[in-house]
């Protein structure tokens, strides 16, 4: 175990916290208020933000899409430069917050912001970001990751930057109540798979990380089991569990996998499938194929998360598949697209993006991806 750890994002958790932005953002800032397709105008969040910013100078930019595109975000950069903004307030789910990270890091760069995603540009300065989270899933509100799509080529890529940690994140669980079942399910699944990508690897003996992961996974299973009878605490638990699953803590000093995510990102880029749904499709099939090499951790998960008494790692994979099915997720790519060239397209994009031998042991190569996709179509 060896790591450096800092998570600088101030978390403000609880109902009614949105008005705190009036204190959290300095009064002399010129704020770029970034949001998505308009859900915030229907659920009262927009009104709360406008009220809280009444003593600030701010400029609105709406229309950041789910799976945000660099094309839209480049427009936000131009708009922000025109108005000489020096702070970004991101109000939305992972897409808006990820988008704000692209805008922030590319803001002072004269080249193409996509260079961030290709590792050709490392920023030395950026705009500060504050976040109001409206969808619990990605953990983007207090991590340094950002996933952006290039509409022109349908490539979906990610970058990390120390500037991308929001200065603060407002987590008001009440805001989640306007989410439909589909997005709530997405939240459970994304957080579940984030935890698995840092847990279902190989034995490492780091007890805090292992047992914390198991706690998060048990919590998420409980939320899935009580989905139909959810109360206020259910939403608060989802918001905090999803945050903890990808705020950097559970992956410290331990092997990580992320193969499901890398394959899933190509599927979202190509076909616009919701991020979490790509994970629910791919992960059980990936685990089926890697059930032997992941046997130890799968059996540990079976015992400590599902309370399963088995020596067969495939039984645990079936529990995971059943969990996703219980949330009414279509687990076949063919439910989302008629394309007949899925395998060719996904494998060639993975190769282009440098994913030729990945997973925590480097065993996920093209042949393995083909097998996973054959099971997933």
**Can you give the binding site for Zn ion, defined by CB under 5 A?**
190
* CB distance 269 to 353 below 8 Å: no
Residues 330-349 that bind ligand NZQ (CB under 6 A): none
Nearer to ligand NZQ, 284 or 302 (CB): 284
Region binding ligand NZQ by CB under 6 A among candidate stretches 175-183, 199-207, 219-227, 346-354: 175-183
Which among Zn ion, ligand NZQ, none contacts residue 248 (Cβ within 5 to 8 A by kind)?
none
Q: Which stretch binds ligand NZQ (CB under 6 A): 7-15, 90-98, 202-210, 216-224?
A: 90-98
Q: Does position 246 bind ligand NZQ by CB under 6 A?
A: yes
- CB nearer to Zn ion: pick between 172 and 190: 190
Q: Which is nearer to Zn ion, 190 or 257 (CB)?
A: 190
143 binds ligand NZQ (CB under 6 A): yes
Given Zn ion, ligand NZQ, none, residue 93, with its beta carbon under 5 to 8 Å by kind, binds ligand NZQ
Residue among 9, 69, 138, 209 that touches ligand NZQ (CB under 6 A):
138
Which window, 130-138, 289-297, 321-329, 337-345, contacts ligand NZQ (CB under 6 A)? Answer: 130-138
With binding defined as CB under 6 A, does residue 94 bind ligand NZQ?
yes
* Contact criterion met (CB below 8 Å) for 52 and 22: yes
Identify which range of 72-80, 114-122, 133-141, 339-347 contacts ligand NZQ by CB under 6 A.
133-141
Report the alpha-carbon distance of residue 310 to residue 303 in Å, rounded: 8
- Is 359 among the residues that bind ligand NZQ (CB under 6 A)? no
Q: CA-to-CA distance for 99 and 320, rounded, in angstroms?
A: 31
Site membership for ligand NZQ, residue 178 (CB under 6 A): yes
Q: Is 263 in the site for ligand NZQ (CB under 6 A)?
A: no
Which region among 36-44, 224-232, 324-332, 335-343 touches ligand NZQ (by CB under 6 A)?
Answer: 36-44
Q: What are phi and psi of 32, to 5 degrees?
A: -90, 110
- Please state, in angstroms and as integers, the Cα–Cα distance from residue 31 to each residue in 37, 45, 126, 134, 215, following that order: 19, 17, 14, 19, 38
Instruction: Select 313 or 327, whichever has its Cβ closest to ligand NZQ.
Output: 327
Residue written as token pair 């809280």:
52
Which tokens sit at 318? Answer: 């079936």
Measured distance CA(361)–CA(334) in Å, rounded: 30
Residues in the chain: 377
Token code pair at residue 150: 């290039």
Using the rule CB under 6 A, which residue among 95, 105, 237, 300 binds ligand NZQ? 95
| Residue 202 to residue 145: CA distance in whole angstroms | 24
Q: Is 147 in the site for ligand NZQ (CB under 6 A)?
A: yes
Query: What is the nearest approach in angstroms of ligand NZQ to the Cβ of residue 170?
Result: 12
Of the listed pieces 11-19, 34-42, 292-300, 304-312, which binds ligand NZQ according to CB under 6 A? 34-42
Q: Which residues bind ligand NZQ (CB under 6 A)?
A: 36-40, 43, 66-67, 92-96, 98, 134-135, 137-140, 143, 145-147, 175-176, 178-179, 183, 186, 190, 246, 261, 268, 275
């Amino acid at each position: 175990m060896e790591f450096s750890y800092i998570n600088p994002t101030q978390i403000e958790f609880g109902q009614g916290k949105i008005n705190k932005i009036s204190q959290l953002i300095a009064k002399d800032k010129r704020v770029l208020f970034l949001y998505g397709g308009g859900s915030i105008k229907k659920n009262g969040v927009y009104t709360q933000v406008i009220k809280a910013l009444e003593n600030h100078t701010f400029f609105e930019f709406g229309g950041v899409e789910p799976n945000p595109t660099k094309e839209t975000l480049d427009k936000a950069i131009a708009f922000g430069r025109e108005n000489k903004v020096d702070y970004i307030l991101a109000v939305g789910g992972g897409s808006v917050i990820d988008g704000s990270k692209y805008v922030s890091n590319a803001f002072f760069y004269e080249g193409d912001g996509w260079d961030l995603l290709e590792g050709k540009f490392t920023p030395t300065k950026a705009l500060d970001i504050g976040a109001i989270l409206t969808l619990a899933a990605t953990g983007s509100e207090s991590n340094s990751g950002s996933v952006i799509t290039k509409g022109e080529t349908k490539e979906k890529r990610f970058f990390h930057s120390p500037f991308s940690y929001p200065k603060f994140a407002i987590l008001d669980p009440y805001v989640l109540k306007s989410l439909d079942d589909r997005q709530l399910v997405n939240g459970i699944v994304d957080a579940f798979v984030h935890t698995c990508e840092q847990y279902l690897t190989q034995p490492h003996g780091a007890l805090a990380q292992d047992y914390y992961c198991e706690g998060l996974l048990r919590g998420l299973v409980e939320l899935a089991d009580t989905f139909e009878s959810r109360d206020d605490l259910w939403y608060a638990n989802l918001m905090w569990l999803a945050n903890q699953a990808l705020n950097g803590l559970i992956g410290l000093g331990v092997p990580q996998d992320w193969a499901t995510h890398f394959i899933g990102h190509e599927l979202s880029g190509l076909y616009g499938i919701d991020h979490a749904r790509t994970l629910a499709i791919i992960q059980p099939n990936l685990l089926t194929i890697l059930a032997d090499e992941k046997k130890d951790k799968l059996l540990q998960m079976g015992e400590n998360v599902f309370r399963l008494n088995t020596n067969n790692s495939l039984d645990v994979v079936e529990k995971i598949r059943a969990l996703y099915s219980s949330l009414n997720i279509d687990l076949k790519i063919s439910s989302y697209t008629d394309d007949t060239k899925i395998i060719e397209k996904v494998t060639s994009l993975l190769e282009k993006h440098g994913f030729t031998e990945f997973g925590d042991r480097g065993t996920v190569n093209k042949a393995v991806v083909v097998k996973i996709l054959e099971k997933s179509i």
